[in-house]
Each structure stands twice: as structure tokens, then as C-alpha cells.
Amino acid sequence: MNILIIGSGAIGLSTAFELALAGHSVRVVTRNYEEGTSWVAGGMLAPFSEGLTGDLLSFSVESLNLYPDFISRLEDVARMKIYFSRNGILRITMDEEEHREVGRLAREYARGGVGVEEIDSQELRKRKPFLSGEPFGAFLFKEEGNVDAEKLMDALLLGCENLGVKIHIDEITEIEKKNGRVESIKGYRDTYRADFYVFTTGAWSKSLLKLPVFPVKGQILKVKGIELERVLYSKIAYIIPKENYLLIGATSEDAGFDSRATLGGVRTLTEGALRLLPSLGDVEFLGVKVGFRPGTPDEAPIFEAGENYFICVGHYRNGILWTPVSAHTILSYVEKGELSPYVKKFSAQRFLVG
């Protein structure tokens, strides 16, 4: 089948990759392949540290379990290594009340078979002497992971290229539809036609798709100089080790598409991180990255499966985690006409009720 993907973030490129690998002829149209928020993401695969529940939790766990195979397929085709680990995330709590709240969820997860270890303050100081005295305790969510989102994006671009996927640079401004089918899409440079269309336009989806998706600005710091075994996640900052650097995240701002890195953002992140890990005061500052999470009113993604199109947007703060399951959902629909239950659960229709 001749397939056109609109958008080249992790969701668009992973879908292009899986469809091309399955033998389809795939093209991607994107305004700017360096603009995607996916380049900025922390890359934490953290459904439990994020405290997800219900459908979002099962959707996330499905994606987490697809990750190892997805990474090894991609590494094979792209012929490059992607930093990826599944050695758990340390969810640090800052006071007794937060510890009780995270503990309540952790016990629920554990009843469902999730690997969790509770660590009290005394034990935490013994095991992590480099932490400041401020954290109250922690929970180790043993199956959570961490992927280098920049490397993932590099590999997706390379993997797509090796499979013959062509990327067109253009901004799509109009979708021409007839009897519920997409006839063509129009950009500033050209009009594009295909047998099937996939829309993965992230935070910019509102004007093109008329869906309730809005940008949630996030700033994240890149530093270098100390090594950490695993992600430290807390409500005041999270510190994410990669192969050659660390990320310190992240602000969450209602600031539209303001792409400025600000001193206020740097201060908030620096102060939070130093309260956890005082030795960060001596690391080398490499820079600030700014991105736009594709927010939705209920923090869940938005899917729509049409006769010859699929919309997959609104991945908010977990789009890297939800990358394999999103691509897999679209692949199953294109290949077998199969509708994952999540397409109904996360349908745009939920915003029309009431």
C-alpha cells in the first residue's frame, strides 16, 4: 500500500518504520524534522513513577513490554546502537504524605505483579549516600526504563532511510475529504495523494485536525560530569542518566508555542536538582532544550481510525513511552483492519459527549 505519514516525531517515524518494514511504500511529509518534541524528551519509560492508572496504565505497560523488540528491530535496520535500559526508576518521595500516597499506588501495582521495592529514609541514605538529606524515602519500580530520545530519533531517521522512506519538507495546511475519505492533503509546496494517510502532528494538531490538543511547554537541561546508575524521579526534578550526559527535567508551562529557554526555567530545574543531588553543582552545563508536549484535556492520547486514514496525536508527557504501542496499533489497522480496544477508549468522540 502507498502510505503517507504527516509529522516526523517519534510517533510518525516509528509508524513509518514499522509500515515500511512490513513492505509498504511509505512517505513522510513534515514541516521540519528537527522541530519535533521527541528530540527534547527525557526518554523515561515510567508508567508507575508517573502514577498512571486504568486504561492509561494498561496501554503504557503494553508499550513498555513492546520496547525491547522494537529497539532491537530498529538497531538492526538503522545499524546503530540506541542507549536503552530497563533497570528501573527510583521514585523519590519528599515528605511523609507523598510517601504514603505513592506507597498506596505502589501496593496496587504490586498486587498486579509489578516489581516494586519500598525503601525507607534510613535505607535510602545507606544505599544512596550521594543524595542530600532532603528526600523522605523512595520506591524502586524495577521494570521501568530509560531510552535516549535523541538516539531513538537518529535511529528512526536512519532506519526509515535504509528502508527507502522518502521525507518531504512541507507544511500541510488542508485536508481534502469526500464521503469520510481523505482525497488529498495540501501543503505550501505540493498536493499529496496516497492510499492511506496517518496524521501524527503532535502539539500542532489543533488547527489542522480540529482536535483539542494544546502545547504544554517543557524546558530540560543537559549536563555532563557524573554517572548515575538509574533515573532519579521526584516531584521537584528528575535526573536522567544517558550514555555520555544527564538530563534534568522538566518545567511544565502554559506558554503556548514560546520557544525561548528562560533563566526562570533554568533556575527552577537547577534548584530542584541540587536539592536532590548536591554534587550536581560541579557538573558541566551543556545547554537547555525546549519542547511542546501535545496536551489533551484528560491527558490521554487521541486516536481516530477512518476508512483510509488514522489520526494518532495528543501523547502529552508520555509519547516516548507510548511510541511502540502507537506504531503497533496503526500497523495492525493498516495490515489486518484490526482495531485495538484503545482506539475506542481514546477516541476523539469522548470530547463530544455531554
Ligand X SMILES: Cc1cc2nc3c(=O)[nH]c(=O)nc-3n(C[C@H](O)[C@H](O)[C@H](O)COP(=O)(O)OP(=O)(O)OC[C@H]3O[C@@H](n4cnc5c(N)ncnc54)[C@H](O)[C@@H]3O)c2cc1C
Q: Footprint of ligand X on this chain (CB under 6 A)?
A: 6-12, 29-33, 35-38, 40-44, 171-172, 200-204, 208, 218, 220, 249-250, 291, 293-294, 315-321
Q: Which of 99, 104, 101, 105 is nearest to 119 (CA)?
A: 99
To the nearest whole angstrom, how small is the minimum distance from the Cβ of residue 57 to ligand X?
14
To the nearest whole angstrom, how small is the minimum distance from the Cβ of residue 194 to ligand X?
14
To the nearest whole angstrom, how small is the minimum distance from the Cβ of residue 120 to ligand X?
27
Q: Which is nearer to ligand X, 11 or 334 (CB)?
A: 11
Distance set, CA 320 to CA 128, 151, 263 (Å): 28, 12, 27
Separation between Cα atoms, residue 59 and residue 240, nearest integer Å: 23
Q: Which of 48, 148, 59 is nearest to 88 (CA)?
A: 48
To the nearest whole angstrom, how small is the minimum distance from the Cβ of residue 84 to ligand X?
13
Q: Which is nearer to ligand X, 60 or 93 (CB)?
A: 60
To the nearest whole angstrom, how small is the minimum distance from the Cβ of residue 118 to ligand X?
23
Q: Which of 222, 238, 348 is nearest to 297 (CA)?
A: 348
To the nearest whole angstrom, how small is the minimum distance from the Cβ of residue 313 to ligand X?
6
Number of helices followed by number of strands (H, E) in the chain: 9, 20
3-state SS of 215-228 is: EEEEEEEEEECCCC
Phi first, then psi: what are they for 290, rounded to 5°?
A: -125, 135
To the nearest whole angstrom, how small is the minimum distance from the Cβ of residue 112 to ligand X?
21
Q: Which is nearer to ligand X, 127 or 267 (CB)?
A: 267
To the nearest whole angstrom, how small is the minimum distance from the Cβ of residue 309 to ligand X?
15
Phi first, then psi: what are they for 118, rounded to 5°?
A: -90, 135
The answer to whether residues 185 and 172 touch, using CB atoms and an 8 Å cutoff, is yes
Separation between Cα atoms, residue 157 and residue 321, nearest integer Å: 18
Q: Which is nearer to ligand X, 27 or 317 (CB)?
A: 317
Separation between Cα atoms, residue 208 and residue 231, nearest integer Å: 36
Q: Which of 228, 251, 252 is nearest to 240 (CA)?
A: 228
Q: Which is nearer to ligand X, 95 or 183 (CB)?
A: 183
Separation between Cα atoms, residue 305 and residue 194, nearest integer Å: 16
Q: What is the DSSP string of 88-157?
A: -EEEEE-SHHHHHHHHHHHHHHHHTT--EEEE-HHHHHHH-TTS-S---EEEEETT-EEE-HHHHHHHHH
Q: Which is nearer to ligand X, 316 or 333 (CB)?
A: 316
Q: Which is nearer to ligand X, 70 or 316 (CB)?
A: 316
To the nearest whole angstrom, how small is the minimum distance from the Cβ of residue 177 to ligand X?
16
Task: For 148-225, list the strands marked E by DSSP.
Answer: 166-169, 172-178, 181-187, 191-192, 196-199, 214-224
Q: Which is nearer to ligand X, 65 or 123 (CB)?
A: 65
Q: Which is nearer to ligand X, 140 or 250 (CB)?
A: 250
